[in-house]
Structure 1
Amino acid sequence: MPRPWLALCGFLVSVAAPVAAEMPVLGLPIDCTLGTSCYVEDYVDTDPGSGQRDYACGLKSRDNHRGTDIVLLSFDAMEAGVNVLAAAPGRVAATRDGVQDVAITPKNRADIEGRECGNAVRIDHGSGWQTLYCHLKQNSIRVKQGDRVQAGDVLGLVGLSGLTNVPHVHLGVLKDGEIVDPFNPENRDTCGTATGNGMWKEAPGYDRAGLFTAGFATAVPDFDAVKSGAARVRDTAPDQPLVLYGHAFYAKPGDALSLSATGPEGEIFRHDVILENPQAQLFRAFGRRAPQDGWPEGAYRGYVHLTREGRVIAVRHADITITSR
C-alpha cells in the first residue's frame, strides 16, 4: 500500500497532534460511496514508537502513516475518473502536478524522491488548519494557488502518482504543521478512546477486518509462505497454473472472499467463498491449470475482495506476467 511521506512545495509536517477549538468539519474528500465503490484502507498511525496501530487499536495503519487513505476498488474506476473533493472550505495554499501515474516499484522508487505525495493540493482553512490531498491523476488538478473553495468542490481526479501502487486519495489533516488524526483529534498517542464523529461531519464507519495482501502463485501455497511473501510469483511460463490467494485478518462468520483474475483475453476465473468459521488470520486460494496451448503471453491481474453483507471492507490486487523464456 501507499506510503505518502512527503514535503509538498517545501511544506514539511511533524507528528504531534494538538487540541484546537477551531477544527474544520470534514466531508468525504472523494466522490464515491464507502462500501460500494471505495473503502478506507489505512488510518493515521497512533503508535508513537516503531510499531503501528490505528485509532481503534486495530491493524489498519502502517508505521508513521500520516493520513487517511480512501481507495477505489479497481484501476478501471480510476481510468473512468473519480473526483477528489475539498473536505472543507478554504483557500488553496499550494498545488503540484506533472508526476506520472505509475505504480511504485523498487526500480522507479528513486524517480519520485521528494515527491512521494505525487500530484497534490493543499488547502488552508484558517487558524492553522490545513488539509492535504495526495496521489491525484496527472494533469487533472482544477484549482490553483489562491483559489477559494467550498466543501465538495472538485480539486482533481484520483490517480496513481507518487508513492503508491493503488488508486486512492490520501487525506492529511494538519494543525500548525502537525499531523492530526481526524478520527481522534484530541490525542494521537492513544487509541480505542475516540467517540463521536471526531472532525468529520459524518465519520466513515470502522471495520476491524481487512486484507494483508493478495498474490499470484503457480500452486496453492502454504500459509507460512503467504505470510512471509515467499509465495508470491511475479512472472511465469505459459504452461504453469495460475493461483490467486488472499490473506485476511479479523474476518467474521458470513464474510465473503471473492477471488478473480483477468488476462489478455478477458476473465480467466472468478471464485467466491463464504467464511464460516474464520480465524484471526486466514488465507484462501483459487486457480486454474494452464489451457492445452498455454496461457496467452502478457499481463494478468487478480483482485481479492473481502465483503460483509454486500459491503466492501477491503480489496487487494496482484499482477503477474506470462512470457516464454
Structure 2
Amino acid sequence: MRDVRSALPRSFFLLPLALAAGALLILAAVPARANPPDGAPSLAFPVDCHINLDCSVQKYFDHDPGPGAKDYMCGDLVNDKHTGIDIRIPSYVDMRRGVKVLAAAPGTVWRTRDGIEDINVREIGAEVVDEYGLGNVVVIDHGNGWRSFYGHMRKGSLTVKEGDHVEAGQQVGLIGLSGLTEFPHVHFMIMHNKEAIDPFTGTSVNDPLACGDTGHALWNPTTLAAMAYTPTGPLIAGFSTDKPDKESANNGVYDKAQYPASAPTLFFWATYFGMKAGDRQVMRIVAPDGKVIVNFDKIMEKGRILGFNFIGLKAPEGGFARGTYRAEFQLLRGDSGNDKIVAAMARTVELQ
C-alpha cells in the first residue's frame, strides 16, 4: 500500500469517521436555484447511475450538532457527525462491473490518493485504515473556497491527477470499497473554507435547520428533483441452499437461477435500507404448487439504516419438489390495517 500521508494534512485522513462515516416520507418542493450560497458551484449528480433504480442515497448529512443524528428532512437516515452524502450501489457485483464517479462541477483537481485496497472495514478492522478513512479519493477545487470530495473509490480507478482541469460530468474514478466503509459507495462531500456543507440545504451543522427546506440547495434543479428524499428502499435479494450471510450475498455467491432439489435446506434473504421501529416485515417462500411453505410476519422493534434478514426451511423427506419457487419481501409502514409498502422485492429460483 503506497504511503501518501506526506501529501495531505492529517485532518484530511481523519475525515471519514468523523465526517464520512426517516421519519415520514416528505418530498420537498423543488425550487429554482435562485438563492444558493455566494459563489457556490451548481452541482450535478456525481455518479453515472439512475438514482433509486440502480443506486440510492444510503446516508445523508447530519444536521444535529449534538450526539444525536438528523438528516435534512429531520429523518434518521444518517449517522452522528456524518458530513457527506453516501451514494451506494447494491452489491460488490455492481462494483466489479464498474460504476463511474463524475465531477459534480467544473474545477481543478486539488488532491488525489490511490492504492488503498477495496475491503470491508469489518473484515480488517477500523484501526488498519483509520488514517485512510476516505480511501481512494479525489478532491476538486471549484474556487471561492469551495471544494468537493469523492471518497472510497476503487483501487486503481482514478482517471485524474492533481492540477488537472475537469468539467462537470467528467469521470474521476469508479465506486469502490476503500477506506472506512462497509458497502460500495462514493462519499460525496462539499466543503466551504474548511466547513462541511449539506448540498441539499446549502448550510452547515452550525446553521438552523428548517426540515425539508432546499431553497438554498447546491444541486442544480434537475438533480435536486431526481434526488427526492427516499428514506427506505430495497437493495438485493435472492435464494441460497446454505445459511446466507451478508458478505456472501454482496459478493454474488448466491446469484444462481437454479439449485438441486436434493439440497438439504432452502433460504430466501433480502438486504434493504431505512427500516424504522414499528415497521412490519413480511417474508415468505411459495412452493411450485402455490403453497406458502415459510412465512415470516413481524413488527420490528428497532430501526436500522441497513438491514439483512433471511428465512428458510429444511427439505422434507424425499427432498424438495422440483419446479419454480417464488419468494417475496415487503416492508410495510403505517397504522395497523392501513400499512403502506415502502420496500418490496420478489425473486424466483428453479429446483431441479
How would you bin the TM-score normalised by the shorter chain? 0.5 to 0.7
Aligned with 1:12: secondary structure?
helix
Aligned counterpart, 1:323: none
Equivalent residue for 2:22?
Answer: none
- Structure 2: gaps of 5 or more residues: 20-35, 238-242, 249-262, 286-292, 320-328, 334-341, 345-352
CA distance 1:7–1:70, change in 2 (3 Å):
farther
1:171 and 1:233 map into 2 onto residues whose CA distance is: 25
2:211 corresponds to 1:192: yes
- Which amino acid counterpart does residue 205 of structure 1 have in structure 2? A
1:159 correspondence with 2:176 = yes
> Using the alignment, how far apart are the partners of 2:100 and 2:76 within structure 1?
28
Correspondence for 2:109 = 92
Would you say 1:77 and 2:77 are equivalent positions?
A: no
Secondary structure of 1:172's match?
A: strand
Match of 2:145 in 1: 128
Change (3 A) 1:7 1:83: farther
1:208 aligns with 2:231: yes
**2:231 is matched by which residue type in structure 1?**
R
Residue 141 (structure 1) shift: 0.4
Deviation at 1:281, TM superposition (A): 5.7
Calculate the aligned-residue CA RMSD, in Å.
Answer: 4.8
Quote the Cα distance in structure 1 between the aligned partners of 2:95 and 2:73: 29
Where does residue 114 of structure 1 map in the other structure? 131
Q: Is the 8 A contact 1:209 1:251 kept in 2?
A: no
Structure having the larger proportion of residues in helix: 2
Secondary structure of the structure 2 residue equivalent to 1:133? strand
Matched, 1:249 2:281: no
CA distance in 2, matches of 1:123, 1:293: 63
Match of 1:288 among 313, 330, 337: 313
Could you tell me how far apart the structure 2 residues matched to 1:71 and 1:292 are? 43
Query: Do the aligned partners of 2:37 and 2:216 also contact (CA within 8 Å) in 1?
Result: no
- Does the 8 Å CA contact 1:242/1:290 hold for their aligned counterparts? no
Pair 233,70 (structure 1): closer, same or farther in 2 beyond 3 Å: closer
Match of 2:11 in 1: 12
* Whole-Å separation in 1 of the counterparts to 2:71 and 2:85: 10
Across the two proteins, how many residue pairs are aligned to each other? 270
CA contact (8 A) 1:9 1:96 kept: no
TM-score normalised by length of structure 1: 0.67
Q: What SS class does the counterpart of residue 79 from structure 1 fall into?
A: helix
Cα deviation for residue 191 of structure 1 reads 4.6
Structure 1 residues 159 and 314: alpha-carbon distance in aligned structure 2, compared to 1, 3 A threshold: farther
Give 1:208 shift: 3.0
Instruction: Tell me how far apart the structure 1 counterparts of residues 302 and 66 of structure 2 sit (CA, whole Å).
Output: 24
Code of the residue aligned with 2:54 in structure 1: it is: S
Structure 1's 197 and 77: CA in aligned 2 closer, same or farther, altered over 3 A? farther
1:292 is displaced (CA, Å) by 8.4
Question: Which structure has the larger Rg over C-alpha atoms?
Answer: 2
Letter in 1 for 2:149: L
Matched, 1:60 2:83: no
Contact 1:30 1:85 in 2 (8 A): yes
1:8 deviates by: 8.5
Is residue 45–residue 66 contact of structure 1 (8 Å, CA) maintained in 2? Answer: yes
Instruction: Quote the sequence identity (%).
Output: 34
Distance 1:291-1:178 versus aligned 2 partners, 3 A rule? farther
Structure 1 residues 10, 233: CA separation in 2 closer, same or farther (over 3 Å shift)? closer
Offset at residue 122 of structure 1 (A) = 0.3
Task: State the Cα distance separating 1:178 from its structure 2 match.
Answer: 0.9
Displacement of 1:100 after TM fit? Answer: 0.4
Residue 164 to residue 259, structure 1, CA distance change in 2 (3 Å) = farther
TM-score, with normalisation over the residues of structure 2? 0.62
Post-superposition offset of 1:113:
2.1
Amino acid at match of 1:162: G
Moved over 6 A (4+): 13-16, 232-235, 238-241, 255-260, 277-280, 290-294, 304-308
Equivalent-residue separation in structure 1 for 2:284 and 2:108 (angstroms): 43
List per-residue Cα deviations over 1:129-159 (Å, max 9, x = no partner): 0000001110110100000000000001111
2:46 alignment counterpart = 29
Q: In structure 1, how many angstroms separate the alpha carbons of the residues matched to 2:111 and 2:205?
A: 26
Residue 146 of structure 1, aligned match among 131, 153, 163: 163
Deviation at 1:12, TM superposition (A): 2.9
Residue 268 of structure 1 aligns with which residue?
none
Equivalent residue letter for 2:63: T
Kept in 2: contact 1:117–1:135 (CA 8 A): yes
Q: Quote how far apart the aligned CAs of 1:209 are.
A: 3.0
